Structure 1
Amino acid sequence: MIQTVGFIGLGKMGLPMARNLLTNGYDVYGMDVNDSAISEFQSYGGKTGKLLDWIHNVQTIILMLPSSKIVNQVIDEIIDHYSSESLTIIDMSSSYPEETRTNFKKLEENNIEFLDAPVSGGVKKAVTAELTIMIGGRVDIFTKCKRLLESMGKSLFHVGPIGSGHLIKAINNYLSGTHLLATCEAVQLLERFEVEPETAIHVFNQSTGRSGSTEYKFPSFILTESFDSGFSLELLRKDLEMAKNLFLQTEAETNLPQLVFNRFDDASQALAKDADHTEIYQYVSSYLLQRGKLNEKDSETIHCSGNSSISI
């Protein structure tokens, strides 16, 4: 029996994910506010229409939406129109864990099963179905949906109860943003000493300073100056705000999440509204370096241990 799926959110990530479901034999209904995304989805063989047109034909609905606010609205609409015997919702967006738990309670009261299953890997791995998927929720529901998820991802991890997937995704993106910001600042500082960025990245990748930013983002999007990873600065800013709030809510004794968020928040205001998140490199150059000169003065003295000092 062919499983029928609803897919709401055919953006840069959602469209290739939905296409991979079609490729794996699923019957897929797609929805999006973007008409061009709908047209492209139809060209792949997908079906379209309003929620009321297909909600009673599907066994699973996948959400790939830009914010918890929109996820909440869609879930409320599904609850209002749902009257089938069996339905599972999988929220693959980057949603707030607390709101995910609230949605779980609402859906449970209406006999609708729920998983949170955010992804990592970017557009490239969404296209090749090699995403990492972090799943929160009941193990039996995850087991039931495993083949469906495997059609979109290569590495599946059941990480805990409902909300755990969104929690670990927020922390993952906090680490990713921190790595990226630190690497941008480090590379531009080295450039001040006439070390070429390409050389710096090559050295980092052969050393302990390597990260996803040095191994993938810099070579692919920053050093090439394409800045087209497919993941917006605004979305990363939102994820960093989420992580910052999670640390604050637990009264963790650290100010690093706040500092990282502040940099990305400032960058989102300074750069274009649709800026790619890798364009943080250009924002860093506005405050850290100005064509080979330190911002505040051309030279400073860094005092080292003992009596020695280095003039820069």
Structure 2
Amino acid sequence: MKIGFIGTGVMGSRMVKRLLQNGYDVQVYNRTKAKVADLQKLGAQHIENIPELSRECDVICSCLSMPADVIQVYDGPSGIIQHARPGTICIDLTSVGADTSKRMFETANAKQVSYLDAPVSGGPEGAEKGSLTIMVGGDKQAFETVSPILKALGENIEYLGPSGAGSIAKLINQYLVAVHSLAASEAMVTGAAFGLDSEQLFKILKVSYGDSRILRRHMEEYVLDRQFEPGGAVKYVHKDVRLANQLLMEAGMKNFTGQMAEQAFQNATDQGLSDSDMSAVIQPLEKECGVVVKKQG
């Protein structure tokens, strides 16, 4: 089975390595050729364009940035759907809205190509270890066919139902990521504003009911050391919470905490932090209150 992989950035490159380590024949494409050089050394074959890759491969994976990228890569004149052979199975690992997933599914289906929405959670470390959670929507038979591939990438593989179901589950997860990020930031900034030692406060919170995985991630890996090189960038969480908020409105909710989280990530973007780690959402709050959450000394 020949696998094509489009999008070899922070997440995609690690997934390709996992596939290679599991003995798969992988062809890769990325707009920035420099991003595939290390993968070529590991055995991946670089393909010059999407149409060629689409014609050559039995399964095509994509890990892209934004919904517009997915639409272009799949449905553009030089896209996957126009050039893939009937029977090809596409696995889109990008976080997009359910409407985008359903549109790609229907367009692909008309060409006898299968399309699975299969967004992931677990960050670069999960991609590196092959421990991702993968949430899948689409045709169940196609899912079962590519399950061995998904198991090379993740530990928690869940088939959730028809097209769009995987994307909905991922956006709900991202909703919590965004809201927890804002709440953790507000709590830590408030403590600093009242003179509490940030390390001591964090030590208390992580053994109390206020603990969360996001609180630990942000404080231990980024904020306290003032290191904001991205694992997951502000711009991606901002995109995801915006899409998630649309789901909540469609569900019938009018006022919800995600609206505040979306604004907080918008503020971080407006202050030039879009490419920083999502934990940088704390920085506008620190400026507002005139404090910095960091280790002492």
**Could you tell me the TM-score, scaled by structure 1's length?**
0.88
Q: 2:295 matched to which residue of 1?
A: none
How much does 1:283 deviate? 1.8
Mapping of residues 9-158 of structure 1, within 5 Å:
9-49=7-47, 50-76=49-75, 77-82=79-84, 84-158=85-159
Q: Is the 8 A contact 1:121 1:130 kept in 2?
A: yes
User: Which gives a bigger RCO, structure 1 or 2 (Cα 8 Å, sep 6+)?
Assistant: 2
Letter in 2 for 1:218: M
Q: 1:298 matched to which residue of 2?
A: none
Q: 1:213 matched to which residue of 2?
A: 214
How much does 1:160 deviate? 2.2
Q: Is the 8 A contact 1:134 1:168 kept in 2?
A: yes
Structure 2 residue matching 1:151: 3-state secondary structure: helix
Q: Is the 8 A contact 1:123 1:229 kept in 2?
A: no
Answer with 1 or 2: which has the greater Rg.
1
Q: Is the 8 A contact 2:273 2:280 kept in 1?
A: no
Structure 1 residue matching 2:241: 3-state secondary structure: helix
Structure 2 Cα separation of the partners of residues 206 and 97 of structure 1:
37
How much does 1:56 deviate? 2.6
Letter in 1 for 2:31: V
Q: Is the 8 A contact 1:97 1:164 kept in 2?
A: yes
How much does 1:78 deviate? 1.5
Q: 2:250 matched to which residue of 1?
A: 249
Structure 2 residue matching 1:132: 3-state secondary structure: strand
Q: Is the 8 A contact 1:21 1:151 kept in 2?
A: yes
Q: Is the 8 A contact 2:19 2:26 kept in 1?
A: yes
How much does 1:275 deviate? 2.0
Structure 2 residue matching 1:149: 3-state secondary structure: helix
How much does 1:92 deviate? 0.4
Structure 1 Cα separation of the partners of residues 46 and 252 of structure 2:
46
Structure 2 Cα separation of the partners of residues 249 and 286 of structure 1:
35
Letter in 1 for 2:70: V
Structure 2 Cα separation of the partners of residues 236 and 257 of structure 1:
11
Structure 2 Cα separation of the partners of residues 282 and 291 of structure 1:
9
Q: What is the identity percentage for the equivalent residue pairs of Structure 1 and Structure 2?
A: 28
Q: Which moved more, 1:261-270 or 1:189-198?
A: 189-198
Structure 1 Cα separation of the partners of residues 291 and 134 of structure 2:
41
How much does 1:215 deviate? 2.5
Q: What are the superposed Cα offsets for residues 264-291 of structure 1, whole Å, 9 maximum, x if unpaired?
A: 111111124422211112122122x213
Consecutive unaligned residues of structure 1, counting only runs of 5 or more, are 293-312
Structure 2 Cα separation of the partners of residues 112 and 217 of structure 1:
40
Q: Is the 8 A contact 1:63 1:93 kept in 2?
A: yes
How much does 1:131 deviate? 0.9
Structure 2 residue matching 1:226: 3-state secondary structure: coil
Q: Is the 8 A contact 1:271 1:283 kept in 2?
A: no
Q: 2:290 matched to which residue of 1?
A: 290
Structure 1 Cα separation of the partners of residues 243 and 54 of structure 2:
31
Q: Which moved more, 1:103-112 or 1:249-258?
A: 249-258
- Residue 7 (structure 1) aligned to one of 5, 17, 27: 5
Q: Is the 8 A contact 2:268 2:283 kept in 1?
A: no
Structure 2 residue matching 1:33: 3-state secondary structure: coil
Structure 2 residue matching 1:254: 3-state secondary structure: coil
How much does 1:162 deviate? 1.1
Structure 2 Cα separation of the partners of residues 13 and 27 of structure 1:
19
**Could you tell me the TM-score, scaled by structure 2's length?**
0.92
* RMSD of aligned residue pairs (Cα, Å): 1.5
Q: 1:191 matched to which residue of 2?
A: 192
